[in-house]
Amino acid sequence: MNRRTPLLTLATVDPVVRDATVLGLVMDDPRVVVVRHDIHDDEDGGSIRRLVLDAGGVVEDERIPLEHACLSCAVREDAVPTLARVARDRRWDSIVLALPVSAESLPVVRALGWETRGRGALRRLRLAHVVTAVEVEAFEDDVLGDDLLDERGLALTVDDRRSVGEALAAQVAHADTVLVSGSREDRPVASDLLDHLRARDGRRVDGLYGADLGALLRAEHDVHRGDRRLDPLHVAPARQASTAHGVWTLDLRSERPLHPERLVEHVRRLAPDRVRSRGRFWVPSRPDSVCAWDGAGGQLSVGEAGTWGDVDADTRLVVTGVGDQRAGLLEAFEDVLMTGAETDAGLAAWLGREDVLAPWLGERSWA
């Protein structure tokens, strides 16, 4: 049986860090090839720039028009056939897919996972580690600050209004391995913050060039495990979190739902500036719905993420920060939770009540 070519996926929010990481990888092994994509979107339409390079330099540099300049389209329309073609070239034994700066790795890797199975277009490839490279000096401000990607020229599309923190937090939480530029000693707060936010079952390697490339390529990415890392049903604090330098994580949990009206009224208290928060909650006005909570970079995203099924509904928000917000968050959480008496009153009273969360969650299936 022919050996399947390992495919490593790289995500970043900094073009300099991405280029430095790519350079280190190709210089480490002359039989590694990098496929790098950048999405360009403007009012006249979108395109993707594809760069293929190895230790010898640039092999291809092409720009391809796209009907829809989005990441999923890029994977489907260019990355998949390019990766399949590169895998057949005997000059190279392994491939690195360097994602567009600020692209989240989970949707791309999920799509690649489907293509590497069975008779998929990438059946000759094997998913190796998903890697995120970060600059520790900028990490605290990037993940907790309120800069938008388009303010830094890093937005994927003209309507991409994500914060830098939203993109970075998702990359770090999904990665099998986080490569860190900079030292723990120089930026202890940012270093501890990274340890709070990275995947519980992932690993950290200090130094962009400190990773064993062979080990990264031999390792395998588990798509289901990667999905679970960002699944609100499985959110949990990091196991090895340290608070020695003032970084903290609160695990706010209750079997009770959040009160919809009080949530709308006090949402800013539960999602203050300069914190990263993730989790799930339920509300009596739509008791079957898993409501996802995702906040970073001064922004909060709330939406439906399926139904509870056989799982008991509960509320769990994991909040990480470096300031003095803990007491306020604990108080806000208790204020927004349904009281015992309100919960004991049952759900019938909510059947004809106005759904104040419809602007956030969409219209519910019953009036």
SS3 label, residue 131: strand
243 in any annotated domain:
no
**Residue pLDDT, tens place only, 35-72:** 999 988 766 667 889 999 999 999 999 998 876 656 66
Question: By residue range, what is the domain housing residue 302?
Answer: 248-361
Q: Are residues 19 and 155 both part of a single domain?
A: yes
238 in any annotated domain:
no
**Average pLDDT of the chain, as a whole number:** 92
236 in any annotated domain:
no
Residue ranges of the alpha helices (H) in the chain? Answer: 15-28, 71-74, 80-87, 105-115, 136-144, 164-174, 188-197, 213-218, 223-229, 260-270, 326-336, 340-344, 358-361
pLDDT reported for residue 43 = 65
Alpha carbon distance 230, 312 (integer Å): 19
315 exposed, middle or buried (CB, 10 Å; 0-12, 13-18, 19+)?
buried
- Mean pLDDT, residues 106-113 taken together: 94
Q: Are 49 and 74 a contacting pair, CB within 8 Å?
A: no
Q: Are residues 205 and 263 both part of a single domain?
A: no
Q: Are residues 65 and 127 both part of a single domain?
A: yes
Structural domain count of the chain: 2
Please report which confidence band the pLDDT of residue 1 belongs to, taking 50, 70 and 90 as the band edges: very low
Alpha carbon distance 117, 53 (integer Å): 26
- Asked whether residue 23 carries a pLDDT value surpassing 60, the answer given is yes
- Asked whether residue 315 carries a pLDDT value surpassing 60, the answer given is yes
Q: Are residues 283 and 352 both part of a single domain?
A: yes
Crossing angle of helices 164-174 and 188-197, in 10° steps, is: 60
Residue ending a domain, choose from 169, 195, 230: 230
What would you report as the CA-atom Rg of the chain, rounded to the nearest whole angstrom? 22
- Asked whether residue 75 carries a pLDDT value surpassing 70, the answer given is yes
Residue type, 8: L
pTM equals 0.94
| CATH number, position 27 | 3.40.50
Q: Are residues 163 and 29 both part of a single domain?
A: yes
Structure tokens at 41: 């979107």
**Residue pLDDT, tens place only, 176-190:** 999 999 888 889 999
| CATH number, position 258 | 3.30.1220.10
Q: Are residues 199 and 272 both part of a single domain?
A: no
Q: Any bridge partners for residue 48, and if so which?
A: 39, 64
Q: Are 283 and 257 a contacting pair, CB within 8 Å?
A: yes
Q: Are residues 216 and 253 both part of a single domain?
A: no
Residue ending a domain, choose from 202, 230, 258: 230
**Residue pLDDT, tens place only, 187-215:** 999 999 999 999 999 999 998 887 889 99
Q: Are residues 255 and 213 both part of a single domain?
A: no
